[in-house]
A and B are shown apart, each in its own frame.
Chain A
Amino acid sequence: MPETIEQNTRGPMTAAGRGKKARSWHGGQFPYSVILLCMLPGILHYLVFRLIPSGATAFLSFTNISGLPNAAWKWIGFDNYREFFVLQNVRDLKNTLARTGVFAVSVTLIQNALALLVAIVVSQKFLRGRSLFRAVYFMPVILGTAVVATIWKLLFSTPTGPVFLFMQSVLGIEAPPAVLSSYTYAFPAVIAAQIWQNMGYSMVIFIAGLQSIAQELYEAANIDGAGKWQSFRRITFPLIWPALTVNALLSIIGSLQSFELIMTITRGSFNTATLGMRVFATAFGGTGATASGAAVAGMRQGYAAAQSMVLFVVVLVVTIISQILMRKAEVEQ
């Protein structure tokens, strides 16, 4: 009992009990006002530039506001949503949603599968130069969108890019397509860029997950005669599940919204305009504002806000469903 009292008097919250001043809350013994004053700029900035804009998107989606300064705007009800779901060509609507889905699903699946594979490989104790491998795989995360996009343009350039030359001389294709300006191949190439850039990120999270698995489990399994595949299936996979859940969530949310590489590599042309790309181009101009990759006149930010609300709902629903599925799978294991 005396011990707990001793501990309590040390804590800042109960230190007031010592009877210096009758305050129930204070900053240790630092002046309360100074502490709050110091927090104020950060909180204000967060409110004005993060929370309020985040909520205000819903509001703007019911207006016809434009991105031009001092332009008149008014409340137009559900017109923006009507334009997106009803007035828009059905094929364009379908294309946009399908493309967004294909982008997110393929990025999430391939990126996580590769990242898990690579993480397991570079976590093997016998592998020499493990840290070098890890560092190299992680590099594009640091290099950023502009650099990765430029590298991609260089790789796929015609007719001197290495991919073109590879298709021509190794695969024996006589007239290889200009991949990044092809209506068929530009989209897969952009997906590949997205995976190439972010695989290392998922890998790092998997490595952390693998490190938390006790080595003794593998040794015990080995003594019991379990093969590599069995150890993976019975030990690694169930124990890596939390990391997999985090990774899957991050890449689903990220890839549904991500349009940076699309914007920098194809500018949303050549059948690459996902919903995120369309929101950006509708709001701020440039190609990729429609499913076919065209630009729209003016900065139609009300309409863009409505599209971004659609995207938000998609992200929310997909996130919740995937979380439920992954929880269920975890229980079943």
Chain B
Amino acid sequence: MDSQDKKVIHQKNRPFLAACYLLAVVFLFLYLFPLFFSFNTSLKTSREYLLNPIGLTQSWSFDNYITAWTRARFGSYISNSILYTAVCTVISLLLSVLIAFPIARRFFPGSRAVYNIFLCGLFLPSGTIPLFQIILNMGLHNTRLGYMLIMTGVSSTSVFFFTGYFKSIPKDMDEAAVIEGCGYLRYIFKILIPLSKPAIASMGVLSMIGVWNDIVSSTIYLTSESNFNITRGLTVFTGQYSSDWTLTAAGLFIVAAPLILIYVFCQRYIVDGVMAGGVKG
């Protein structure tokens, strides 16, 4: 079909084209306005916000961020969140890779069964209450370790995703490595993981976002403020300053900024990971 034909078709469907643009823009507004409004609010002084809540900020003041940061121990929340996110993501990824690789290669009898047991996790209820009892009886309630034990784990999605990915890596690689005298762990770290960078990135980013955004487990397992992660901190903060919307908005963006940054740079991996969980699963 040459370009003239295409033009004809497009002209025929002009109302359709207009409707598409209209819808896209309406939804763009529905999704950007709340973010934009919040950001705009965070840059206003309280007085300015009360006088003119909708208008563009005149003062461009970053004071709210400074106030929120100093009053609400956001420094402590963020360092906790970074710790939780880093530890849980790295360990979860490692455990998942070490489980998915032998399954992908069918190294042992019943590997299919092990795979299915991990897939069950997609459908099983979460078992929040017994989990709480386990942590309580281990004496790990309200400890960083206990929280990280909960947030770490081999997710069904990652076993599924990695198994599929590792199957696409030729087995010849394994054999070559063995002939060269390469040990198993060395093979995993030096060859398998570097070859699986896109898969690791997808699952890694998803896991990071999951841990960073967790609000349920942090509400359950963390009771003292020094252990709070950032989302829990934000919830407490908005409760304390519930009438001061400019401060709340600033707190909101302190939490959201790292997420937005990650999103801008890792969008492709995130979408790949989401599709892995959705389409094939």
For the residues of B in contact with A, the DSSP-based class is: helix
Contacts of A143 in B (CB 8 A): 213, 256, 259-260
Judge if B200 is at the interface, Cβ distance under 8 Å: no
Size of the A side of the interface (Cβ < 8 Å), in residues, is 99
Q: In chain A, what residue has the closest Cβ to B15?
A: A228
**In the bound complex, what is the Cα–Cα distance between A246 and B38 (angstroms)?**
34
How far does the alpha carbon of A54 sit from the alpha carbon of B174 in the complex, in Å?
Answer: 37
Pairwise interchain contact A201-B23, C-beta atoms closer than 8 A: no
Within 8 A of A (CB), among B106-146: 106-109, 114, 117-118, 120-121, 124-134, 136-137, 141
Q: A28 with B175: in contact, given A153-B248, A154-B41 (CB under 8 Å)?
A: yes
The answer to whether A153 and B238 touch across the interface, beta carbons within 8 angstroms, is yes
Whether B107 lies near A25 (C-beta < 8 A) is: yes
Q: A240 to chain B: closest CB distance in Å? A: 12
Chain A residues, Cβ within 8 Å of B279: 205, 208-209, 243, 246
Residues of B within 8 A of A54 (CB): 124-127, 130
Give, as a whole number of angstroms, the nearest-CB distance from A22 to chain B. 15
Give Cα distance in the complex from A165 to B120, angstroms.
Answer: 48
Q: Does A250 lie within 8 Å of B10, measured CB to CB?
A: no
Does any Cβ of A come within 8 Å of B45's Cβ? no
Q: Measured between alpha carbons, how far is A29 from B30 in the docked complex, in Å?
A: 57
Task: Give the complex CA separation of A133 and B172 in angstroms.
Answer: 43
Residues in B whose Cβ lies below 8 Å from that of A121? 20, 23-24
**Among the listed B99, B185, B234, which residue makes an inter-chain contact with A43, where contact means beta carbons less than 8 Å apart?**
B99
B215 CB within 8 Å of chain A: yes
Q: Which residues of A contact B274 (CB under 8 A)?
A: 141, 201, 204-205
Residues of the A chain whose Cβ atoms lie less than 8 Å from the Cβ of B130: 52-54, 56-57, 59-60, 305
Could you pull out 26 A-B pairs where Cβ atoms are within 8 angstroms?
A10-B175, A25-B108, A28-B175, A29-B174, A29-B178, A48-B134, A52-B130, A55-B127, A57-B125, A118-B23, A135-B267, A137-B28, A142-B260, A142-B270, A145-B215, A146-B255, A153-B248, A154-B37, A160-B50, A205-B278, A228-B13, A260-B215, A301-B132, A301-B133, A304-B129, A305-B130
